[in-house]
A and B are shown apart, each in its own frame.
Chain A
Amino acid sequence: EAGVTQFPSHSVIEKGQTVTLRCDPISGHDNLYWYRRVMGKEIKFLLHFVKESKQDESGMPNNRFLAERTGGTYSTLKVQPAELEDSGVYFCASSPSGYTDTQYFGPGTRLTVL
């Protein structure tokens, strides 16, 4: 069974540009989560999808961040326009329907905003 995959593994962009991160959850997992770790800080929750619906987006830092999960499969996280403080590692995780205690994580996308 393939694990959670994320693309790209590393992105370097300039301040003001747009970046889109992609996450492919484990096949059949209805729950999808985004987290990020800004350098030197704790990993923080961003949002939670159940299928294509946003269940909880309380962790999204501001309206420059837009997450989508069309069709309830893969998800994208767009940052527009990117700011310096957005640099960090963005993790995606998934879990099966009805059992969200254990989340399975992808390798992360390291975003560097210059």
Chain B
Amino acid sequence: GDSVTQMEGPVTLSEEAFLTINCTYTATGYPSLFWYVQYPGEGLQLLLKATKADDKGSNKGFEATYRKETTSFHLEKGSVQVSDSAVYFCALSRSNYQLIWGAGTKLIIKP
């Protein structure tokens, strides 16, 4: 069945470092892909999405490109801030609109 695999955390970086959180997926058809973020004490927020191959989603300095050939949707940011500390979830949307989730990656940014 459909599935999403994320790199395990926690990922600890210094402020202004480059961030990559890997996400790969297995799916039939052409799912939409998402990154959600959960800041401490808050709910899930949509960070960015891509709906077809080669689309790039971007928001708040984060980017991810839908790579069908490698079935990947890696999250990147050029310079992270302490305020980016959160749990990041990669997910795909099935045609029946269920979201299939990765396990989440906790990101810790140290000043």
A: residues with CB less than 8 A from B are: 4, 31, 33, 35, 41-45, 48, 56, 59, 91, 93, 95, 100-108
A48's partner among B44, B49, B89, B98 (CB-CB below 8 A) is B98
B43's partner among A44, A91, A95, A101 (CB-CB below 8 A) is A91
Contact residue range for chain B? 20 to 34
Residues in B with CB closer than 8 Å to A41 are 103
Q: What secondary structure prevails in chain A residues at the interface with B? A: strand
B89 touches A31 (CB 8 A): no
* Residues A45 and B46 in contact in the complex (CB < 8 Å), given A101-B32, A101-B51, A101-B93: no
Complex Cα distance A59/B100, Å?
11
Complex Cα distance A4/B46, Å?
13
Nearest 4 interchain pairs by C-beta: A107-B43, A105-B44, A43-B101, A100-B97
Q: Can you list 26 residue pairs at the A/B interface with Cβ under 8 Å? A: A4-B43, A33-B97, A41-B103, A42-B101, A43-B91, A43-B99, A44-B101, A45-B99, A45-B100, A48-B96, A48-B98, A56-B96, A91-B44, A93-B44, A101-B32, A101-B51, A101-B97, A102-B49, A103-B46, A103-B97, A105-B36, A105-B45, A105-B46, A107-B42, A108-B43, A108-B44
